Structure 1
């Protein structure tokens, strides 16, 4: 029953990565250029570029996507037939393989947006092209001023490939860590925002944890980490967070108690609550989120066209703007310039403030995941979130 809506959600043509030309007589669509790093295996087909199998080495590719002028914010305009029409559809207009790291650095410097870099990690059940179009949509609709970089890991894009996909995130964690490290070492980069969705949040957390264990802390240029619908066991997240070392980046999580994909994940993983499905206004979550400095934004009452309620962070025009204009620039959510419609409330440092009324709730601020022990020994990392059970279990 939980998988039924997932099965009916597919329907767009496959194989859109072969570049198309834009007619000089047509209205020029917006172009989003990105650098794509992947641990996927090359497919040998220019229509798909990479498949869902694992590659022993990573690949870099320059990709440009055109976005039609007439479309609703928050949507990806998939073509109804191939090749795509740039006037009405999202369409790839450029693909170029990057042979060396030097070429990658050169591309980045040519596309630098104020020294700000956005690294996006997609979630479960995604093809290469799905993640490319999603990042293009996020960058366009958020109006963010940052250089977009996509990290896409080997997903078989199958509803029945959950375990394979999860293992693929583990397979890819060192490659993501190295990608973040290379970015942080570039003198032209001022700051990095890491945005991850669904199962991709597990990969993001594992890579940051590895970096913290190696270096004693996460690279200082990684300023903001945004986890959307995180498909992570709550206790495991607590451990990952603790083992990153100090100081940590600023964390923001988007949660929703009506997320049907996370409800299915909870069933698959033994009815253990997922981080993306908690109610951050309820204890013990609220106090511990406040103690650790993690901002949690509850999107339960935000309505989008997503029947699974799993992609609200990208499909709500107001929320995607919030990401691009405030969260990834480190701005607070509690001033009069934030307006999101009806019902969004923020809890920051123990204070509750209303931010418009988008019919959602946000809990924010500094979650100690470490126990309050007097003078803890270095490396004595113990999580104190709770048993992992949600006070109000997720239902369909």
Structure 2
């Protein structure tokens, strides 16, 4: 399994060193991102942030350019250092932001209707890889939202699964800080969270922690999209029920042929992962229906990736659906499929999904818990996350 998942080109290097194209015609679309991370800064300018954990939150404004004629759903990873603008994704601008005010200034300049799309990447991902992947998702989705990336200290190694799992737990507070910084920004009125794989576990943990800390989530957090979520199904049930209502709208993308989640399930003692359930079977149909979560089965969608773990980003149609429907505050419905807006993507899965299944796990009792008040303004410092009476 490791050989299969690792059977790819050598890992791209030199991703974060800014490159200036000799001519503007050498590059296609450019995407501006706000990147929040709790990775430690490293001296290498080609890397910027490594795989070590940092208790502080760092903000960076990054611009990524793409080569002309790029097929949608693809990332042209650099084959040389530095990247070649004619053929590769490449960073054109990078600015470290040292204050919350600078972050809000970036948001005011890049806000699109007050909507933010916050992406949380998965396991085995470097800082530069997370930046390039989210740039691709932003460009291909066509979403009218300010793109914000939260990148946590993944080891960037196939053998680093346990380190990455611990890093997600370490990163809960940093992601909570990021969400509160966004929610407390008066220029923002809607937040959509898009999380992939192990990043879904981190997203759920951060939302659960926020709710335990201060009750119902900020109503600006309207949509949570979990793509191939690498979460123990029972853990997900507990996370979900411990988020005090009213909750955001939840959508999960699942696939039963996801080889990365198969490996995760074996590591976890053969416990089902949320991302590889069959939402047309019990107990998931009735359980997820009670939870009100939309589950979309992508198992039969054509996918050139060997692991079938990133269909949500590799399929141009799916990523556009995310951008044009879910991330614009609208939820996918059966009528979207019947009208053909989604049928071209999921036609092969319709008999499995039964159109769109509103269903995942049995809902567990949340129980009683203290709900402290917290500071309404967060600085990029973990000490700012405190209880105020």
TM over 0.5: yes
- Rounded to whole Å, the distance in 2 between the matches of 1:326 and 1:202 is 23
Q: Does 1:221 align with 2:220?
A: yes
How far apart are the structure 2 equivalents of 1:174 and 1:343? 36
TM-superposition CA deviations, 1:135-188 (whole Å, max 9, x none): 000010011100000000001111111111100000000010111011111111
Q: TM-score, normalised by structure 2?
A: 0.89
- In the alignment, is the contact (CA less than 8 A) between 1:226 and 1:253 conserved in 2? yes
Output one character per residue of 1:247-300: Cα deviation in whole Å (capped at 9) or x when no partner.
000000000000000000001111111010100011110111111110001010
> Contact conserved, 1:35 with 1:149, CA < 8 A, in 2?
yes
Aligned residue for 2:70? 71
The aligned residue for residue 275 of structure 2 is 276
Residues 1:213 and 1:71: Cα distance change in structure 2 (over 3 Å): same
CA separation of 1:342 and 1:189: change in aligned 2, threshold 3 A:
closer
Cα shift readout 1:41-85 (whole Å, capped 9, x = no counterpart):
111111010110111211111100001221211110112212212
Equivalent in the alignment of 2:179: 180
- Mapping of residues 295-310 of structure 1, within 5 Å: 295-310=294-309
1:286 equivalent in structure 2 = 285
Larger deviation: 24-33 or 333-342? 333-342
Tell whether the 8 Å contact from 2:20 to 2:92 is kept in structure 1 after alignment: yes
Query: Residue 265 of structure 1 corresponds to which residue in structure 2?
Result: 264
Alignment-derived partner of residue 96 in structure 1: 95
CA RMSD, 1 decimal: 2.0
* Equivalent in the alignment of 2:205: 206
2:377 maps to which residue? none
Match of residue 364 from structure 1: 357
Q: Could you say if the C-alpha distance between residues 240 and 358 of structure 1 is closer, same or farther in structure 2, counting changes exceeding 3 Å?
A: closer
The higher-RCO structure (CA 8 Å, 6+ apart) is 2
Q: When you count helix as a share of all residues, which structure comes out higher?
A: 2
Cα 1:371–1:198 shift into 2, 3 Å: closer
Provide closer, same or farther for how the CA distance between residues 140 and 358 of structure 1 changes in structure 2, counting only shifts above 3 A.
Answer: farther
Question: Is structure 2 residue 250 aligned with structure 1 residue 251?
Answer: yes
Q: Distance in 2 between matches of 1:186 and 1:58?
A: 17
**Cα distance in 1 between the residues matched to 2:238 and 2:49:** 33
The count of corresponding residues between Structure 1 and Structure 2 is 365
Q: Give the distance between the partners of 1:25 and 1:211, measured in 2 at CA.
A: 44
User: 1:183-198, aligned counterparts within 5 Å?
Assistant: 183-198=182-197
Q: Trace 1:110-149 onto structure 2 (pairs within 5 A).
A: 110-149=109-148
Relative to 1, partners in 2 of residues 1:78 and 1:377: Cα closer, same or farther, differing over 3 Å? closer
Distance 1:274 1:156 in 2: 21
Measured in 2, the distance between the counterparts of 1:377 and 1:59 equals 35
Structure 2 gap ranges (5+): 371-389
Gaps in structure 1 of 5+ consecutive residues: 345-355, 381-396
Which residue does 1:312 correspond to in 2? 311
TM-score, normalised relative to structure 1: 0.88
Contact preservation (8 Å) 1:43, 1:49:
yes
Give the structure 2 partner of residue 170 of structure 1.
169
Q: Judge conservation of contact 1:340–1:357 (CA < 8 Å) in 2.
A: no
> SS at the partner of 2:20?
coil
Distance 1:37 1:377, change over 3 A: closer
Deviates more, 1:26-35 or 1:288-297: 26-35
* Structure 1 match to 2:43: 44
- For residues 316 and 18 of structure 2, what CA distance do their matches in structure 1 show? 28
Shift, 1:3, TM fit:
1.1
Indicate how the Cα distance of structure 1 residues 25 and 143 shifts in structure 2: closer, same or farther if over 3 A, else same: closer
Label 1:118 to 1:338 Cα distance change in 2 as closer, same or farther (>3 A).
farther
Tell me how far 1:369 sits from its aligned partner: 4.1
Shift of 1:87: 2.2
Residues 1:333 and 2:333 are matched in the alignment: yes
- Following the alignment from structure 1 to structure 2, what is the Cα–Cα distance between the partners of residues 230 and 22? 38
TM-superposed CA distance for 1:25, in Å, is 5.4
Aligned mates of 1:343, 1:46 — CA distance in 2: 40
Q: Secondary structure at the match of 2:25?
A: coil
Q: Distance in 2 between matches of 1:304 and 1:67?
A: 22
Q: Distance in 2 between matches of 1:272 and 1:163?
A: 16
Q: Deviations over 1:73-125 (max 9, x none)?
A: 11101122122122221110011110111101101111111100011000000
Report the equivalent of 1:351: none
